[in-house]
Each structure stands twice: as C-alpha cells, then as structure tokens.
Amino acid sequence: MRVILQRSRKSSVSVDDKVVGKIDSGLVVLVGFTFNDNEEIIDKMINKVINLRIFNDENGVMNKSLLDVNGEILSISQFTLYADTRKGRRPSYVNALGGEEATKLYDIFNDKLRSLGLHVETGIFGADMQVSIHNDGPTTIAIDSENL
C-alpha cells in the first residue's frame, strides 16, 4: 500500500464537472494498493497517517497531527502510485491491484477512517477525476507500507 499525503486547504475532486468530494482543512490522501495488501496493512497505514505530526503548532512548528487539528480527509484512489518506470517511456502498472480487490480495500480504508470519527470525502473509484489540491506549505509526504 502506498499513500501520498498533501497537507491541504480547500481541496476537491470532480467527476464530469460535478464536485463529488471536498474538504476545507486537512489531508488529501492519494491511495494505491498492490498484491498482498490486507486489513492489517491498512490499520498500520491509518495509524501512521492520522498521527503523523505535519501540522503547525502555535509556534509554526510541524508538531501536530491530523487528530490534533480536527482535520478532514479527501481520499483519492490512485493506481498510478504503483507505476514502474524502470524500462522505456511508458510506465507499467502490473504491480497495481485492480478491480474488485482494490475497490474492497479502498472502501475498508475509508470506512476505518470514518469509524474513528474523521470526516472523510472521496472521489469515485475508477472514474476520470479532476482533483484540485490547495497544498498547504507545501507539505507532501510519501508513505509505503513496506517501510512501516
């Protein structure tokens, strides 16, 4: 499992020119799954995402978590996080989990975040989405479950 976190202000996702998800302040979480990902990995990733201290405290130091600032999440499925660019000029996506399996894990990821009392908005899995991110900082962090 891979995620890209972007600290955000007023981000949104649209499909067919209709906004399907938006947040004010929090994190845009781009989420990708690969083979052998499971609920245990999702739990570890969620723990890292919600507790990572990347929000400013009263002194302007990144010392607060998403939970500390009551932040929201805009979760976007993104299989391209598993692009393999080692050969040629066209990325290979053979390591990206697709279809029903990826949809199931994506839903579990979002449902578990919501069960913690977080406000979670999403795009539409598999849709052609237009994502507007007002990256705050800018702060962008990549996390791979292999490094948890």
Q: Which two tokens stand for residue 82?
A: 């598993």
79, 109, 125, 130: which one is catalytic? 79
Active site includes 130? Answer: no
Helix or strand holding residue 2 (H, E): strand 2-15
State the catalytic residue, choosing from 55, 78, 109, 122. 78
From 80, 85, 109, 130, the catalytic residue: 80
Q: In the annotation, is 34 catalytic?
A: no
Q: DSSP letters along 78-128, please? A: -GGGG-B-SSSSS-B-TTS--HHHHHHHHHHHHHHHHHTT--EEE--TTS-
Report how far residue 37's alpha carbon sits from residue 40's, in angstroms, rounded to the nearest whole number: 8
What gap in Å lies between CA 110 and CA 74, rounded to an integer? 10
Active site residue 80: yes
Q: Show which residues are catalytic.
A: 78-80
